[in-house]
Structure formats: structure tokens, C-alpha cells
Chain A
Amino acid sequence: MSVWLVLVLLGILLALALGVILGRLWVPGGPAQPNLFARIWAALTPDFDQFLTDRVTAQTIRLLVTAMLVFGSFTVAWALAAGVMRTAWLVAIKPDGVTAGLKEPLWQQSQWLFAGFLAWQMVRAVGGVLLICCAAGLAGAVIGFIFGIPRPISASEAPPAAAGGAVPPPGIDHRQAIEAWKLSTNLTNISDWLTTAITGVGLVEAKNILGGLAAVAFAAADWLFGSRHGSPAVLGAVIIGGAVFGFLFAYLYAELVISRLIAAVSQILRATPAARLTMRNLRLTQSLAPRIPRTGPPETTERPTTVEIQAALQYQPIQFEDLIAQSGVTPAEVLSWARAKAILNDYRAAARGYAYLLGTMLAPRQP
């Protein structure tokens, strides 16, 4: 098989890959699955009439991922081309190239050997550049994650009651109400220290950091491409771009996604002491749930008051799994949760709470 045929086949494969990428980018899709171009456009033009936090979060992440994909595509395209150019240079160079000592040109010695050599150079170039890009991205992501970890408001920072802060119920000291729960803040503290240190050191050492980056880019360009084909500039851009994208992605992910997860886990702690007290001293006794009737559906009886409904609503976002996953959750807290669910007519959820409560209370004590 002619080496030119192999090259043509490689070209066709590359064209197909580019076609698929461009097709994903530009070919219109249906309304259910809009194409990448439509998604980029949607991300660039948010619909403020339907401004939903989740939607904007998804748009932000999607826009960033799209930009990262475009950046990655250009990087791979350049690496492929650089691999081909490096192969040509290695073959052509005299007298120290790969053809040194050969009586005939490499492609005349063995077309398969030449094709394999070309493919290897391309893989080497793409792999090396992507590895550098990913390493820079990871380094940026670590910093972005440290910067993006959400920090809970401490007791000393909480607004006083006079300024609209939470008012503890009668009989509960404000300090006790705040200290009644505490999330682990180890990671937050480390994040605080590192953020301060990185910012301080970064400002002082900015010049050295840039010099270090340039040195790394030059070294990588020398090792991978003999500093040819514009590799020092491109690899410098790849390192900076990868680090920036990694930082942004991790920062936004921590701010938009991880902070929500942390908030969701701490939802159990969101019910104010006043709401918990209302649930514990619930006025409703018999009519928390409808009576058991002789026939037909359960009968409706007395309705809860507005205060009771407002207290119950504080428990609305708390899932049963999150509730019992809390260390040290008390039977009283489970009962309050179950009552809140019953007030909100979510009897199936309430039943889970009562079943758990009765099960734990009736379970034989371990010696």
C-alpha cells in the first residue's frame, strides 16, 4: 500500500472527525435537543423572563464547557499538525535526523515504517500537549476549588435581631440557638488560609510566576517539539488557558453546585428553633391527620393555623434521608419533621418519619 494512500486515509479520518464536530456545532437540532450552536447562543442570551437559578447555573457551566471544548479542539488540531510537521522535519534533517545512515529516504525503505512513525509522532504530540493542558487545568482547578468553597456565616457575623436577624424563641438563649448545630468547617478554614496565602504570595511573586510559566512552556516545547513549529508560544497558551479554564470550572462548580449540596445537607439545620418549638408543642393532637373512618376516604377535621403551616414549611425542603443522616438527630427532631410533613398533607413522607421514630424507640437496646 502506498504511503500516500495511508496519508489520504488519515486525511479522510481527520475530515470526518472535523465534520462530526462541525455538525454538532452548526447543524440545527430539534427543540428537545438543541445543537451546540443553539446552546451557545442560548447561554449568551439568557431569557430573563424565565429567570430560574437552576437554568442560569446550567447555562453558565455549559458556556464554560463549550469554551473548554473549543479550546481543546484547537489545541488538538494544532498538536496533530505539529506532529506531522515534526515528522517531516525529522525525516528531512541532515545529518542527525532519523534518516541518518540510510541509503534511501525513509518512505522508500518501508512505507509502513514511515506511516507508523508518522502516526506515532502525531499521537505523541497530541498526548503530550493534552497532558500539559490537563495538568495546568488540574492545578487551576485546585486553586479554583479552594477559592470557591462556600463559607457559612459565623455566629459573630450573623445580623442581630434588631437588624432583621433570626430571633430565638423564648427560653432559648441566642448563643445556644446558634451553637445547637455546627457544620464541619475544617475545609472552609483551610480554604480561608490558602486563599489568603495564594493571593498574598501571588501578588508578591507575580513576576516570578510569569517567569516560571515561561520556563515551563519553553522546557515542554523543547522536549516535545525541539522548540519548533511555534511550540513555545502555543504551549505557553495551552498552560495558561488550561489553568484558567480549570480555575473557572472548579470555582464555578464549587460556588454553584457544591455550595448547594452543602446547603442541602444543612437544610435540617435551617428550621429555626422557633419552628422546631412550634412543631414540638403542636396544638393539633387528633386532627394532625384525618380520622380513620368507618368507610370511604379519611375524614378531614381541624385545620392547622398559619403559624403552624409556616413552621411546617421550613421542613418542606428537608428530605428524610438528609434528616436521619445527621449525626445526633433526636427523636424529637424526627417527630417535628414528621408532623410538619403531615401538616403539609405529605402523609407518605410523614409515615416514614413516624415509622422510623417508633422503630427506633421500640427497638431493643443493645447491651
Chain B
Amino acid sequence: MNPTTPDAADPRLLLEASRVFNAAGPDYRALAEIINGSALEARDKADPDVRRAILGDAVALRLSGRVPGGYQQALDLLKDIGDDPKKDDPDGRLHLLRALARGQMYREERKAGKSADSLAALRVEIRKDLAFAFTQNNELRYDNRRFWQAAPAAATATETADDLRQVWEEDAEFRALVALSDETTTAAPVAPPIPTAPRDPAA
């Protein structure tokens, strides 16, 4: 962006604006979603890190239901992310978000009575994404436990954060993957207390 003349089509400016609107409170939420949509359309002109940030915000908006499309659109947006740890997703955010999207998909497919093989394949993909994300940033393991372990106090009445809860309950390998160092990995699916000390979140 030319520093002297801001451009309304500049994806970096649109990313900035959408995040500021989002942080400004409920009055500006709708504007945040609209401007994120504009940023998404202009993302091809952006640098890789800005593109990743726009993508991550867009996926988060769809997974949280603030923007329609749900996990299907989220997975569409994330279908091209690579697995090169050095250049594709340095902080693991996009892989974590894809795991969450697949977690929502897993829940829906299980409800629809999909085959065990298809569900198992999905669980493998989820574990792969999470493993990549944790490799990039191990703090994600601590900061995102609300997505697989029930934490009533952490979720508001209107927001649910249990995208990977079903997987956690049914997949011992998943529990082993997300377990903290001091936890028993084969424990029964009873939610242990979530650490309350805030870390540096990145998802």
C-alpha cells in the first residue's frame, strides 16, 4: 500500500479495518463481516502473510456462524493450504481452523449415519491437521482445549466451542495427540479442568 494514499481495494487495509471493526464491539460486528468479505475478494493481491490472515478470519467467521456457509465453505477456502512448515502456515492457525471445520463436519456426518470408514478417514485428517498446527506452535495445544473438552464457563450462551468434542470422545489417538504432558492419554472422556492461565493464543 502506498503510505500516502490509502486504497479501498488494498487487502491489507481491509484486513486492518475488519479486525478493528470486530474489536470495536457488537455495533460494528456486521461491518467487520462485510469488510472481511471485501478483503477475501481482494486477497490475491496481498502478500502471503496478509492472505493467510484474511483467510483465517474468513474461516473463523464461517465456523462461528457469523457468516453463512459453515464448515463447507470454510473447507473450500482452506482446500489449497499446503503442508510446508516453513512457508504455508507458520503459526499453525489455518491448520487448526481446518481441523475445527472437519470436526464440525465429523459431527454432522456422524449424525447423518455415514460409514465408519468415512468417519475414520476424517479423524485421520483431523489428527494430521492438528499435529501440523502443534508442530508449528505448541501453545495451540493449551489454548484451544475448549474445542475438544467441554468447558461451560468458557463458552457463552450463544457460542459453542465444541467442534472437536465428538472426535475427542471417540478417538483415543486424538486424545493422545491433544493431551498435555501431565495427562493420562487413555483417560475416559471426562473433561478435566481447562487451564485458566491465558497464554499467547494464535488460533
B-contacting residues of A (Cβ < 8 Å)? 277, 280-281, 285-286, 288-296, 298-301, 330-332, 335, 338-339, 342, 347-348, 350-351, 354-355, 357-358, 361-362
Within the assembled complex, what's the spacing in Å between the Cα atoms of A338 and B20?
Answer: 9
A76: shortest Cβ distance to chain B, in Å?
Answer: 54
- Chain B residue nearest to A279 (CB atoms) is B3
Bound together, the chains give a CA A348 to CA B201 distance in angstroms of: 23
8 Å CB contact of A351 from B7, B13, B24, B203: B24
Q: Mark B1-20, 1 if CB is under 8 A from A, else 0.
A: 00111111000110111111
Q: Point out the residues of chain B lying under 8 angstroms from A301, CB to CB.
A: 202
Query: What 14 new A-B contacts, CB under 8 Å, besides A291-B19, A292-B56, A361-B8?
Result: A295-B64, A295-B160, A295-B161, A296-B154, A298-B19, A331-B5, A331-B6, A342-B23, A347-B23, A347-B24, A351-B24, A354-B17, A357-B6, A361-B6
Whether B12 and A285, one on each chain, are in contact in the complex, defined by CB atoms closer than 8 angstroms, is yes
Enumerate the 5 nearest inter-chain pairs by beta-carbon distance, A residue then B residue, closest first. A351-B24, A289-B19, A280-B3, A361-B8, A292-B57
Nearest A residue to B4 via CB reads A332
Report Cα–Cα, A350/B161, bound state, in Å: 29
Which residues of B (26-61) have their CB < 8 Å from a CB of A? 27-28, 31-32, 35-36, 49-50, 53, 56-57, 60-61
Which residues from A are CB-within-8-Å of B160?
A: 295
Using A285-B12, A286-B50 as known contacts, say yes or no to A351 and B19 having CB atoms under 8 A apart: no
10 contacts between A and B (CB under 8 A): A289-B19, A290-B22, A295-B155, A298-B22, A299-B203, A347-B24, A348-B24, A354-B16, A354-B21, A361-B7
Shortest Cβ distance from residue B178 to the other chain A in the assembled complex, whole angstroms: 16
Q: Are B16 and A285 in contact (CB under 8 A)?
A: yes
Q: Does B131 contact A (CB under 8 A)?
A: no
Contact between chains at B20 and A293 (CB < 8 Å): no
The residues of B that contact A300 with a CB separation of less than 8 Å are 200-201
B contacts, CB < 8 Å to A: 3-8, 12-13, 15-25, 27-28, 31-32, 35-36, 49-50, 53, 56-57, 60-61, 63-64, 93, 97, 100, 146-147, 154-156, 159-161, 163, 200-203
The residue of chain B having its C-beta at the shortest distance from the C-beta of A346 within the complex is: B24
| Chain B binding surface SS class | helix
Quick one: given A295-B159, A348-B24, are A285 and B49 in contact (CB under 8 Å)?
Answer: yes
Q: Do A292 and B3 touch (CB < 8 A)? A: no
A289 touches B16 (CB 8 A): yes
* Residue of A281, A332, A362 touching B5 (CB-CB under 8 A): A332
Given known pairs A285-B16, A348-B25, A355-B31, the reply for A292 and B36 (CB within 8 Å) is yes
> Within the complex, which residue of B3, B4, B23, B97 is in contact with A294, where a contact is CB–CB below 8 Å?
B97
Instruction: State the CA gap A348–B26 with chains docked (Å).
Output: 10
B31 cross-chain contacts in A, Cβ below 8 A? 351, 355
Complex formed: what's the CA distance from A363 to B42 in Å? Answer: 18
Bound complex: CA A159 to CA B108 (Å): 71
Select B20's contact among A277, A285, A332, A351, beta carbons within 8 Å: A351
Give the docked Cα–Cα distance between A289 and B161 (Å).
22
B15–A286 touching, CB < 8 Å: yes
How far does the Cβ of A288 sit from chain B's closest Cβ, in whole Å? 5
Task: Give the residues in chain A near B23, CB-CB below 8 Å.
Answer: 289-290, 298, 342, 347
CA distance A349 to B20 in the complex (A): 10
Instruction: Identify B17's interface contact among A299, A348, A358, CB under 8 A.
Output: A358
Chain A residues, Cβ within 8 Å of B7: 361
